[in-house]
Chains A and B, each alone.
Chain A
């Protein structure tokens, strides 16, 4: 049996294998992912990360570094439309499919390509085991639709590769912050450093900011058996709360910095101000500026971390087939003002500090009652961000530069081991409650903490028909019954579900709809009963087709 964890990220995909060290401690080892360059030459050494990007060259989708390089080349000849990135932000959404060579690709189809690639290149190629336990990470705040899309991507990849998986009742998915915490705790126990004192039943906030999503999860730790050996298997993870979906990450920082570069370019070359660009040239320039912004951000962060306060760079930019040189001097002051929307004291939807405030307000927990604040995810390496968090919390945060962007995959692999070897299951609350619209407003059908509970809701048919149409909204949990006015502004429409009762029932017929989550994938199963007879059984949350 082999144990794997995949971090299916917005910008990169990683895979780790769960292993047991000589002392019997669980750990996750990041696996290298063999990739080739745009000329099909293998990249040596193989990278740890697979860029979550696709480039459609003729009929063939290219993945990872190869795709990124092809896209960079394609910029020059105007094929930016064939480049797909940040598809994770589209999961569970009702977006038009990507169309290449008359083939349609849903976001989950693109995500399946990344999972398929790492399964083929790492799991199948690298292990001789016939049976595998696999865990894939998702943001804690993913809605049921987003989770279902992710599961669809995994199932497609598993089907295509033919890899054999041991199926666990618990889950194929784990939330990213929880996976990162598992990895952190596993390392803490293994190394004997014990930065986190589990004996004191600590409350830990995990702040996970990656390429495109920000998650905040509150977990309480403890020992299952205080007298037994203090290993990871003996730790209890009680997930108390998670925040709602927050779509901000490294990509947004890159775009904001790219806008600043654009401004600099126009200032240094005033002739460009009145230039009218074609859509293709606009895309090309935008792509180039974002790419350069990402590099500049990393360089600035490294320098700032080393105590320097500015970096200079000379960038060659092509605008409408003409070359221009952009001289950049990014100082601490400019960086702070450019990233003010993310780090300052404001209500910008992309602000990275506001969600912490909202989280404490929502959970009615004082920041002072939190024992540890752990920062993970690729973007947590950004020093200005960590400084802003520490200023807000008025205390230092836990952070590991070495594992910041690896911890999620490592933790997923460790969770595979816990599932496979210890039959462990960690339950997490959903980030949203779900409501259906009725003539009297919105009725809650399943709450955030109803993971194990079956919720019965009685509906009365408005007219003669064979169907019950449920129009589902996700929002803050209102407690019991109907949503009050204070919940309305938190509702986000998720789609419709048609329950086919198999035959026509008259107006006024009572239909009892029962909804439950099964396992921790947050897949809501629904059954409908009329006159104590089950007339429907299926999965809720699929769009009506």
Chain B
């Protein structure tokens, strides 16, 4: 009985809503962007009281104020974190148990929003709201974006995380297409978008992540320096994705000069994974033993970037040191890398700590040390100024 006048379907059918209300809300948001803490508190309260009535005005502000705004960056929503958080809070609060409000966000903010950046933000906000539950009506809208949307996003990359929530197959198909489109441009920005897609699928079981990795690296154009981009968007391996991902990366080697791409991405992803959950180290180590080509990057990955003291290295060290197994390729590589760390790596290293690792190994694996030190010495002679980690050297081929 209390909700007799709560029907807001008409009000939230499109961006116009009640124009007066929209203009008032836009003025509130302008005040918030430019206002003191006290003003911001007042605006927050006003908008909270308006509830879903504020949606059309909020959306109008999002469309008009996302991009460059005269008067400075803080007046632009894309640059003002506090304002974005305010909008996100209001949207999330109102969308709980209100299908009209949710559909409004999907229709006006996603399906019909021709501005790519604000659309991507709204997709991420909506993805947080829905969890895994996207209604059929919402799906229909997400699956059928307006031509105005397509004209600004050929690959619809930003939609994929949301589509993934309700239709894995469709998301995978979109992602494979999207990766191709992204990589056509040879820009680091588009490569970042493609790598973000891998992140979307990183928790997925099965072969999807492997297929996407193959797709991405086999289409990645050569001749551009992608190091920073590839290292900045690592994926987190999971128990289920380790094998398909490692197989895919291993099979990509050696593809006419792309090793370094795989190297940068793999090393960064392994480090990232261990930082997230070092328990996965054992699973990865187990799997890497079967990847004869990829293993060469393994120790650089686990020894990490300036993180020699991380617990995983200690674990790795323990497993190598305590191993009763005969000398194998992995042990040889470990010794090479730990020697490299001692001899010529970055200046910030705690050499005494490295030494404390090396000395017991030197006793237990003397022959290997002699061979490894010899190789390292030769490399150092050839490249005396090199500060990079030494490349992996095959000491005994095929012992994997």
Contacts and interface: CB of A to CB of B under 8 A. Distances in A.
A90 B7 CA distance: 16
Contacts of B10: 89-90
Q: At the interface, is chain B mostly helix, strand, loop or mixed? A: loop
Interface stretch (B13-21, B226-234, B241-249, B391-399): B13-21
Contact of B4 (A245, A286, A440, A493): A286
Contact of A244 (B19, B26, B112): B19
Interface in A335-390: 347, 349-350
B60 A493 contact: yes
B20 A544 contact: no
A467 B5 CA distance: 46
Residue of A94, A255, A285 contacting most chain B CB atoms (<10 Å): A94
Nearest to B26: A489
B104 to A, nearest CB: 11
A479 interface: no
B64 A496 contact: no
Contacts of B146: 543-544
Interface size class of B (residues with CB under 8 A): 35 or more
A384 B60 CA distance: 34
A299 interface: no
A37 B61 CA distance: 47
Interface string B58-97: 0011011101111100010000000000000000000000
A275 B95 CA distance: 24
Contact of A262 (B4, B18, B21, B71): B4
A488 B68 CA distance: 11
Contact of B67 (A244, A437, A498, A543): A437
Contacts of A347: 24
Contacts of B2: 273
Interface stretch (A115-123, A276-284, A300-308, A398-406): A276-284
A471 B151 contact: no
Interface in B1-39: 1-5, 7, 10, 13-16, 18-24, 26-27, 29-30
B18 A349 contact: yes
Contacts of A495: 148
B383 to A, nearest CB: 43
B152 interface: yes
B147 interface: yes
Nearest to A89: B10
A162 interface: no
A246 B152 contact: no
A496 B119 CA distance: 15
A331 B310 CA distance: 79
Given A282-B3, A286-B4, A441-B69, A247 B20 contact: yes
A349 B20 contact: yes
A493 B63 contact: yes
A245 B70 contact: no
Interface in A481-532: 482-485, 488-493, 495-496, 498
16 contacts: A94-B15, A247-B19, A276-B1, A277-B4, A349-B24, A469-B152, A485-B69, A485-B71, A488-B65, A489-B27, A492-B16, A492-B23, A498-B151, A543-B148, A544-B147, A544-B151
Nearest 7 A/B pairs, CB to CB: A349-B20, A489-B26, A496-B148, A95-B13, A485-B71, A94-B14, A349-B21
Interface of A: 89-90, 92-96, 244-248, 255, 258-259, 262, 266, 272-277, 282-283, 285-286, 289, 319, 347, 349-350, 437, 439-442, 467, 469, 471, 473, 482-485, 488-493, 495-496, 498, 543-545
